[in-house]
Structure 1
Amino acid sequence: MPPHGHVIACKVTAENPDERFQPTSGGIQELTFRNTPNVWGFSIVGTSGGVHEFADSQFGHLFAWGETRVSSRRSLVLALKELSIRGDIRTTMEYLIQRLEMSAFRENQITTAWLDSLIAEKVAAESPPTDLAVTIEAVCRAHVHFTDRAELSQSASSMDSYHHWANL
């Protein structure tokens, strides 16, 4: 039977890509991943777990399937962007997203030496600016606060209307 579709996989590791993939260790406060019909992942560490300093730095895997290489790559990028890992460890998630988005990877113009050349050139992963993360958190909290207040206000308004009609 001929192959059907394409699969791209990546390792989920506790490594610092800016320091030549030096392993990192520490606790994990949040690890959230949602499997989809085209992406499957697993982790040997969960929330409130951690990566021990003498353990292997790989603690998970993601696999993305698609009818075409393009669709499997897109699914993997989306899964990596939705993957949430908060803790004391550094991961390669941003680094992987950037490599998957590079034109050389998208156009399948890579060899086994491609990644080694990027590492040698010290092409670093870019982390989002701290002030952006703080701003997004503040906006999210404000949204939750105002949504809760609006629901309370609407609920109180409904109760006033009920009491008005009940007293007629």
Structure 2
Amino acid sequence: MKAPVLETERLRLRQAEPGDLEAAAAMWADEGVVRFIGGKPRNRQEVWFALLRGAGLWMLSGHGYWVVTDKQTGAFLGEGGFADFKRGLPAHLVPGPEAGWAFAPAAWGRGLATEAVRAMHGWLDQNLPGISSCVIDPDNLASAKVAAKMGYVQTGETLLGGERVNTYRRGA
């Protein structure tokens, strides 16, 4: 299965393509982007593997990650989607598909994350209705705000890679 194309007023969400590597690598090299997502910039190979993983999830689990682009210009803005990363987190804290998103600084403060994440959840509600979750660094107030807009409620906290994270749940 390939990622379906989703469109909003300003955005196109589509499957990753090889040509996305440079823009994605630039985003993940930005310390502001990774500040709350692992804490260290990713190298080009790590970004390539993540793009492959996001696309491969669609084939193996029927959901995965999209690349988010500007609908008019085609510019890369970020990534988002759903996964089961098999991280070993407590199942009661992270039930169902785990939502995640990250955006390049050029997309910040414009409501684009909310627009993209709303489209992702519209797809999820139609195709895999039920419970979903997300894991957010306690200091990542912007992502917590987006999660709340999607109906996520904080369910607890746990450790991920030795760092404290908050867990959220949406749905039944």
Q: TM-score, normalised by structure 1?
A: 0.28
Structure showing the higher helix proportion among its residues: 1
